[in-house]
């Protein structure tokens, strides 16, 4: 694959233990924008395994090969704890952010933006179970599905990246293009239950996910 | 990777020119079911490129290696036209279907089930722009987001696989488990527009997608 200078690049970061839908939701929307070239980028090229290890997503480009993306998209997943400690992705993000049109994240991807120092003093969102962690990096945790601060847009957990993709599509092209994309992916959600946010779920369920989330993050950190 | 006999396998078919979200939406839900082992399966192992060519999803297993999946999930995408003519995936699907607990599809994946002869006389759904094609295989095109006929479940276009995943999760485990998954992927959809089905979209937009869809399917068929 060669870098083309004619189209605008959407660079999506891949890393070990990524949550697939964080990346693939907005990819499915934004890659349909006219003039966008979607590039999956990682420290090294090749297959990157997801959080549950059962899917490999292929990184086609290294950081060096995509130095000036038009849009930057940072997904989340349990692997963010490692990315947050690794200067290679953090430097790539900092440098790319200087010239991006949009710098975005889904789920715990905002913790990576925060660790790169990009969210200081800014409102931002995250997966609800990790939202409070943003504070440690000087960001203002904001319980909304999509939070925009200038050219930075952060989305809440996992599936929120689809909603963010459509908002971005409307900013980047126009509402008509965004609606056409929505229609083409038949995004007319009909969840069989109404339990998708902690405000709507029983407290025991919220607590269960919070404790599992903490265990996983700390178990992962302990392996270092 | 070795086949484990202790867990129930969810086999997700991959093929050239697949639509990524068709597979990754339900994967993100169903792989969170207790006791499920998710396996991405293709004719040959290795990276499979998506419809727009910008993402590679890795097939870890061949058809021979996953002969008796518990659940079968067939995604869609422009590449279905080729799969529908290929006896290798069709035979795998027919044989697997004899013993599955669930045989499912997302988007134009139902055309593959239809071509395999599994939908004769049955109601089924598909991406809205290709729904009428089901009729040619003896199925009854049904304009609903999720259609269940016994152990066969078909979902409408692309994003509908997430809704189907949650319904399946409730059948497979219980409503509490399905709701916990919904909360963990923060599936509290807030599309910025209400244009996700042809009933809600302007006629010109519907016609535009229909004509593009036909062009793509026929352009692809012409390359054979």
The pLDDT tens digits of the residues spanning A32-76 come to 999 999 999 999 999 999 999 999 999 999 999 999 999 999 999
Q: Which class is domain B8-190?
A: alpha beta
- Quote the percentage of chain B above a pLDDT of 90: 91
- Beta strands B102-106; B71-74: pairing state: parallel
In this prediction, residue B195 carries a pLDDT of 97
Q: Fold for domain A8-193?
A: Rossmann fold (3.40.50)
CA distance A208 to A197: 14
Find the closest chain B residue to A167 by CA distance.
B192
Mean pLDDT value of segment B60-86? 97
Tens of pLDDT, residue by residue over A142-186, are 999 999 999 999 999 999 999 999 999 999 999 999 999 999 999
Can you list the pairs that A130-134 forms with residues at least 24 positions away whose Cβ atoms lie under 8 Å? A130/A213, A130/A217, A134/A110
- Among residues B66, B48, B50, which one has the least CA distance to residue B1? B66
How far is it, in rounded angstroms, from Cα A5 to Cα A16?
29
Q: List chain A residues with CB under 8 Å of B179.
A: 193, 195, 201, 205
Mean pLDDT of A112-134: 97
* More confident of the two residues B214 and A89: A89
The DSSP symbol for A7 reads: S
Q: Name residue A72's beta-bridge partners.
A: A11, A103
Which residues in chain B touch residue A182, judged by CB atoms under 8 angstroms apart? Answer: 191, 193, 195-196
Complex ipTM > 0.90: yes
Question: Could you tell me which residues are beta bridge partners of residue A47?
Answer: A58
Band of residue B218 on the pLDDT scale cut at 50, 70, 90: low
Yes or no, beta carbons of B57 and A54 under 8 Å apart: no
Per-residue model confidence as pLDDT tens digits over B87-111: 999 999 999 999 999 999 999 999 9
Question: Taking the model in full, what pTM does it have?
Answer: 0.95
Query: What does the domain layout of chain B look like in residue ranges?
Result: 8-190
> How far, in Å, are A13, A27, A90, A112, A217 from residue A96 at the CA level?
12, 19, 10, 14, 27
Kindly list the catalytic residues of A: 107
**Which of B55, B57, B59 to probe by mutation at the A interface, max A CB count within 10 Å?**
B55
Q: What is the mean pLDDT of chain B?
A: 94
- The rounded distance, in Å, linking the Cα atoms of B105 and B108 is 8
């Amino acid at each position: 694959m060669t870098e083309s200078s004619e189209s605008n690049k959407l660079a999506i970061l891949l890393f070990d233990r990524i949550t697939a839908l964080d990346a693939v939701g907005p990819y499915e929307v934004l890659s349909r924008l006219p003039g966008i070239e979607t590039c999956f980028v990682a420290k090294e090229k090749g297959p990157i395994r997801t959080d549950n290890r059962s899917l490999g997503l292929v990184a086609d480009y290294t950081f060096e090969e995509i130095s000036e993306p038009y849009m930057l998209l940072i997904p989340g997943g349990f692997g963010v704890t490692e990315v947050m400690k690794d200067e290679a992705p953090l430097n790539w993000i900092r440098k790319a952010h200087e010239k991006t049109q949009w710098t975005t994240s889904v789920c715990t991807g905002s913790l990576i933006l925060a660790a790169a120092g990009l969210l200081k003093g800014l409102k931002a969102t995250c997966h609800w179970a990790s939202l409070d962690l943003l504070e440690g990096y000087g960001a203002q945790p904001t319980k909304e599905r999509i939070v925009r601060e200038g050219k930075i847009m952060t989305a809440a957990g996992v599936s929120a990246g689809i909603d963010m993709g459509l908002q971005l599509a409307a900013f980047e092209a126009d509402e008509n293009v965004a609606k056409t994309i929505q229609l083409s992916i038949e995004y007319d959600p009909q969840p069989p239950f109404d339990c998708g946010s902690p405000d709507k779920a029983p407290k025991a369920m919220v607590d269960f996910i919070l404790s599992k989330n903490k265990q996983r993050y700390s178990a992962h950190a302990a392996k270092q």
